[in-house]
Structure formats: structure tokens, C-alpha cells
Structure 1
Amino acid sequence: MSNQRKQIIINEITFWKQNKLLPEHYCDFLTTLYTEGEKQTEIQGKPSQSVIAQEKRKALAKYSIMPIIAIIFIILLFTMNAVWLVAIFTAVLAIGCLIGAFYVAKKNQMLSPLLHLTSALLLLAVTVQVCITYFPHNITVLYIALLGNCLLWFISGLALKIVYFTVSGVLGMLAIGIYFFL
């Protein structure tokens, strides 16, 4: 058996032992069997693959709260009378999500789409709310702002090579153009 396979099996046995999925003496027996009686100092010092995966799941759960916060800010944005205050907080949250997405994308590629989408939706909500509040009788301003958001999504999709931003930008511009001219 290759060393890589042995290491994976030993890491799993260590994970089982740490989380008490098997009795300790079974884990010790299996570890001794797969290490062929060698000392386990370098093996025990190394974190288990399963433990690392579990830590990644915890980090994902921690960052998945961002869309919930974004939804709360969007609801506040459309229900509160202090539009500027909520709009500023929402814009800051959107920018924070976007900056966080770039830093997180380097470490964990599963979280970056979540933060990209959250920041895009927050920016869209702020844009719509500002247009509705300050230009209530001029629907053309809203269309232009929506086209600007779609253009931003399209450019971001091309620059960052994110397919769903590119597609949503193109589809959004088409839908707004068709609706505006028909």
C-alpha cells in the first residue's frame, strides 16, 4: 500500500479516535496495524484531513450568515424612513462583502461566490431605493441605474472570469432594454 493511502487511513483513524466514533483501543489497534508498529510522533502532530474539512465547514457556516444580514438590511432599506442612514450602512456592508470576497477567495473558493452575490444584491437594493426615493416620478433614472448595475455585473464577470455575473449582466441588460422599449 502506498504511503499516501496509509496516511489518509491513519488520519481517518485519528479523526475517529478524537471524535469517539470508535472505542480508543480499536483505534490504537488500527493505527498500530497501518503504521506497522512504527512511532506515530509525526502522524499525531499532523492535523487530520477530516478535522481540516470540519474546520472548513465551520468557516463556511460562519460566512453563510452574510446573506441573512444582507436580507435584513434590504428589508430595513425599504421599510425605514431614514433612507440615508440605512443606505449608508447597506452600501458599507456591500463594499465590505466585496472586499471580504477578494480576501476569502484566495483562501477558500467556496465562500467567494456567496460574498460576491451578497454584495451585488446589496448594491442593487441601495441603487433601487435611492432612485425610488429621490426620483419617484422619473422612471428613466431607475432604468439607467439598473442598466448601470447590469453593466457593472457584466464587466465584473469578464474581469474576474465569473460566468454567473457575466450571464446575469447580459440577461439583465436585455430584459431592461426590451421592457423599456416595448
Structure 2
Amino acid sequence: MDQERRKTIVKEIEHWQRSKLLPDQYCDFLLNLYLDEGQARTPVTFAGRAAVVVKAASVKQWLLTFGLFSLICFVVLYFNEFHPLLQIALSITGVLVLLSIGQKYRERNESVGLGLIGTGMLLMLGAGLYILQLHELLAWGWQAGLLGLCSICWIAFGIGARIPLLHLCGWMASFLVYAWLLSNNTESPRWFEIQLYWLPASFVFGWCSWFFHRWSRSVASILFVAAALAWFMPELYCAVFMKEQIGLQLQLMIKIIAGGATLFSLRKQWIAWVA
């Protein structure tokens, strides 16, 4: 049999084994048929591949690994003793490293890459909150500013890297910041005032969804979802921040009916934006 054809068949069998399409015993039997005598078999599992990499590592690679591990331990143990600017710089460096590695891994394994990117974004928020708490910057404005900065980064990176879920999380975080600002700068607003705080944003997001759909359907879809969330944010704001919730259920029912009727009447337009 042709050598290239044999390699193709072996790769296909290994793919079946990784995907659990066939039992391991049957895959092993097929591999023994198509592998040349004495040819080393490529491990299929993560542990097997890791064992091969560790076994083939040079002294330089071992020293580099232990040096990097020691550096990470040193930073974690003495992080509180560093200057605030150094703490911020180290946090940003960690975030950028995770994001860059995650982007590279997405080409080979989408789930692993997205996991690393998500870890980097959570590190951005978690490290920021920890630094604020460490230096006793506990006022709501600091935390709202940090969350607003994170939301901008999530939106920008989500659009640039084409990660719709991260893009949506950015808008949800920005809604939380806006609600935080309203709760700390308004005193007992009336129900119609709360509606006026949020409904214009819903219409703006809906218009942006229409405007951007000609360039990016994924961005238009997220903006459309953000418009739907902003449509119901007045009721959510009342449920979380307001003590008196008179008529909240009635408002929610009216909004559901009005929103459903609007979506039904304009279904030919908005489906074309997001489909």
C-alpha cells in the first residue's frame, strides 16, 4: 500500500479513537494492521502526548520550566509587597500572556483556547478587585470604573477575536455599571423615569444591530440581544435596587406583550440582520 495512503488511514483511525467513534480495542487492532513493523505509535490521549514531550525534553527545557514555575511562585507569594504600579503591570502581563496563548491554541483546539481566554478575562477582573481591596479603595466608584474598563476590553476583544459570548458579557457588564451609576445618583425615581433611563438604550442597540449587520452578522446578533436585554432592564433594575416594587409584574407582562408583538411584526427585518 502507498505510504501516504497508509498515513492517512492511520490518522483517520486515531481520529476515530479520540472521538470515541469506535471502541479502543477495535482501533488498536486496526492500527496494528496499518502501522509498519517497528513504527512508533503516536499517543492519542493527552496524558500519553504529555509523557512523550516530557521524555524528549532537554536539560535546557527542564531548567526553563522550573525557572518559570519558580518565578510564578515568587510573584504570587510576594505580590502584596510590590509597588501598586508593579502589581498592575504584572496583572496586565498575565492577562496578555493568557490571551495570546489562548488565541494560538484556538487554531488547534477551540475549547482550550476559549478556556484560556476566559481565564485571562476573569484574571483581569479578579486581579483588579484584589488590588483595589488590598489598597482599601472600596468606594463603589473604583469598582464601577474597573468593571467599566473590563467591559470595554471584553467588547473590543470579543469583536476582534470573533467571540460572541465575550462580546455579550461586555455589554452585560456595561449594563451593570450603568445600573450602579443610576442607583447611586438617583433618589427614588418614579417608574416612568426608570423606563426612560433604559428604553432609549434599547432602541439605540436595535438601530446599531441594523447598521452593523451589513459588515458582521455576529456583531449584529449580539447587539440585537443587548437591545432585548435593555428592553427588560427597567424591571430588573426595580427588582434589584428599588424597595417599592408596586406594579412590577404588570409592567413586565406589558413589556413581554409589546416586545413579542414588535418582534412578530418586524420579523422579516430583524431575522435578516441576525440570521
**Coarse TM-score class (shorter-chain normalised):** 0.5 to 0.7
- Shift of the 11–97 alpha-carbon distance from structure 1 to 2, 3 Å rule, reads same
Partners of 1:76 and 1:57 in 2: CA distance: 36
- Shift of the 27–164 alpha-carbon distance from structure 1 to 2, 3 Å rule, reads closer
- State the Cα deviation string for residues 27-53 of structure 1 (Å, max 9, x = none): 49x83xxx7xxxx63x985856xx44x
Residue 144 of structure 2 contacts residue 180 of structure 2 at CA under 8 Å; is this kept in 1? Answer: no
* SS of match in other structure, 1:164: helix
Aligned equivalent of 1:151: 152
- State the Cα deviation string for residues 55-79 of structure 1 (Å, max 9, x = none): 48866xxxxxxxxx9xxx6x996xx
Residue 105 of structure 1 contacts residue 112 of structure 1 at CA under 8 Å; is this kept in 2? Answer: yes
- State the Cα deviation string for residues 134-160 of structure 1 (Å, max 9, x = none): 572643232122111011101111111
Aligned equivalent of 1:118: 119
- State the Cα deviation string for residues 156-175 of structure 1 (Å, max 9, x = none): 11111102201111111112
Partners of 2:143 and 2:126 in 1: CA distance: 12
- State the Cα deviation string for residues 83-131 of structure 1 (Å, max 9, x = none): 7465554433222111211222222222111110111111112222333
Aligned equivalent of 1:65: none
Aligned equivalent of 1:63: none
Residue 132 of structure 1 contacts residue 142 of structure 1 at CA under 8 Å; is this kept in 2? Answer: no
Residue 103 of structure 2 contacts residue 113 of structure 2 at CA under 8 Å; is this kept in 1? Answer: yes
Residue 91 of structure 1 contacts residue 122 of structure 1 at CA under 8 Å; is this kept in 2? Answer: no
- Shift of the 180–76 alpha-carbon distance from structure 1 to 2, 3 Å rule, reads farther
- Shift of the 172–55 alpha-carbon distance from structure 1 to 2, 3 Å rule, reads same
* Letter of the 1:130 counterpart: I
Structure number with greater CO (CA < 8 Å, separation at least 6) is 1
Structure 2 residue ranges without an equivalent (≥5): 18-23, 51-71, 184-275
Partners of 1:96 and 1:152 in 2: CA distance: 15
- Shift of the 129–27 alpha-carbon distance from structure 1 to 2, 3 Å rule, reads closer
Partners of 1:91 and 1:100 in 2: CA distance: 14
TM-score by length of 2: 0.40
Aligned equivalent of 1:18: none
The structure with the largest alpha-carbon Rg is: 2
Partners of 2:158 and 2:149 in 1: CA distance: 14
Residue 91 of structure 2 contacts residue 127 of structure 2 at CA under 8 Å; is this kept in 1? Answer: yes
Residue 158 of structure 2 contacts residue 165 of structure 2 at CA under 8 Å; is this kept in 1? Answer: yes
Aligned equivalent of 1:161: 162
Of residues 165-174 and 103-112 in structure 1, the stretch that sits farther from structure 2 once superposed is 103-112
Q: Using the TM superposition, give the Cα deviation of residue 181 of structure 1 relative to its aligned residue in structure 2, in angstroms.
A: 0.5
TM-score by length of 1: 0.57
Aligned equivalent of 2:106: 105
- State the Cα deviation string for residues 10-43 of structure 1 (Å, max 9, x = none): 947xx8xxxxx76xxx949x83xxx7xxxx63x9
Matched, 1:171 2:167: no
- Shift of the 138–57 alpha-carbon distance from structure 1 to 2, 3 Å rule, reads farther
* Letter of the 1:141 counterpart: W
Mapping of 1:24-103 within 5 angstroms?
Answer: 27=29, 31=33, 41=36, 45=39, 51-52=43-44, 54-55=45-46, 80=80, 82=82, 84=84, 87-103=88-104
* SS of match in other structure, 1:107: coil
- Shift of the 90–46 alpha-carbon distance from structure 1 to 2, 3 Å rule, reads same
